[in-house]
Structure formats: structure tokens, C-alpha cells
Amino acid sequence: MARGNQRDLARAKNQAKEAAKKKGNDMNGYQMQAARENAADIMRRKQAESEAKKAAAKGSDGGGGSKK
């Protein structure tokens, strides 16, 4: 009995950890949809900014002439 109740404590701790893993997501359907739409809106804004930046860089290249 050198281990005492160490095994029982470890088992209880592991069960609590596994239960927390299985708990999952606590958002309801409306909240989940709102979060998705918010993330999609942010990505659309970032994409538009990136495209505008690329267009501005392309327009300021000076154009013409090939580099050799």
C-alpha cells in the first residue's frame, strides 16, 4: 500500500478532464450563426483591403518596358 489513494485521485482527475473535453460548445444555433457571419464579414473586409492594395501597387509600377 505504498501508493495510498494516489491511483484513485489520478482517476478522478482524469475523469474530470475527460468530462471537460466532452462538454463541447455552449453556443446555441443563433449565436453560432452570428459568429460565423461576423467572421465571414471580417474576412471579406480583409480580402477587399488586400485586393485594393494589390491594385494600387500594380498601378504604381510605372508600366511598360521589359526588364532584361
What cell was used for 63? 508600366
Q: Show Cβ contacts of residue 25 under 8 Å, excluding neighbours closer than 6 positions.
A: 32
Full-model pTM:
0.49
What pLDDT does residue 2 have?
60
pLDDT tens per residue, the chain (68 residues)?
567 789 999 999 999 999 888 877 778 889 999 999 999 999 999 999 999 999 998 887 765 556 66
